[in-house]
Amino acid sequence: MDKRKHERYEDLSDIVYTEIGKDSYNNASMGNCSMGGMFFNSDYEVVTGTDLCVKMIGYRSVFNAKVVRCVKVADVSGAKYGIGIKYLEEVSSV
């Protein structure tokens, strides 16, 4: 049984993210999202507990989130890590 608070939606949009307080952004590819969080693939490992600022390319959506998991993956796009984040404030739409 799925114990998630929000329904997840598959979305392969491009995003950029940075650690809050940093000036350099990393490119990544979203895998899925919900009103409470997101899972994306990145070339870079991010430590669990890190606060991120995430922007969806092509949208005005910018939000802050906390990394809740980071796992090594074998992705056909070449990404090496799957990163799960929880938004610091729930979003009203995805």
User: Do the domain assignments include residue 4?
Assistant: no
Domain-embedded: residue 29 = yes
The predicted pLDDT at position 94 comes to 46
pLDDT tens, residue by residue, 29-41 = 998 888 889 999 9
Domain-located, residue 94: no
CATH of the domain at 79: 2.40.10.220
Report residues of the chain scoring pLDDT below 70.
1-4, 6, 75-79, 90-94
Assigned domain for 1 exists: no
Is 44 part of a structural domain of the chain? Answer: yes
Distance of CA 53 to the CA centre of its chain: 9
Type of residue numbered 28: A
Q: Which domain holds residue 49?
A: 10-87
- Looking up tokens 């990163």 gives 83
Count the neighbouring beta carbons within 10 Å of the beta carbon of residue 51: 13
Domain contains 67: yes
For the chain, what is the domain count? 1
pTM of the model: 0.83
- CA–CA dist 52, 42 (Å, integer): 13
CA pair distance 10, 20, nearest whole angstrom: 26
Distance CA 40, CA 59 (A): 16
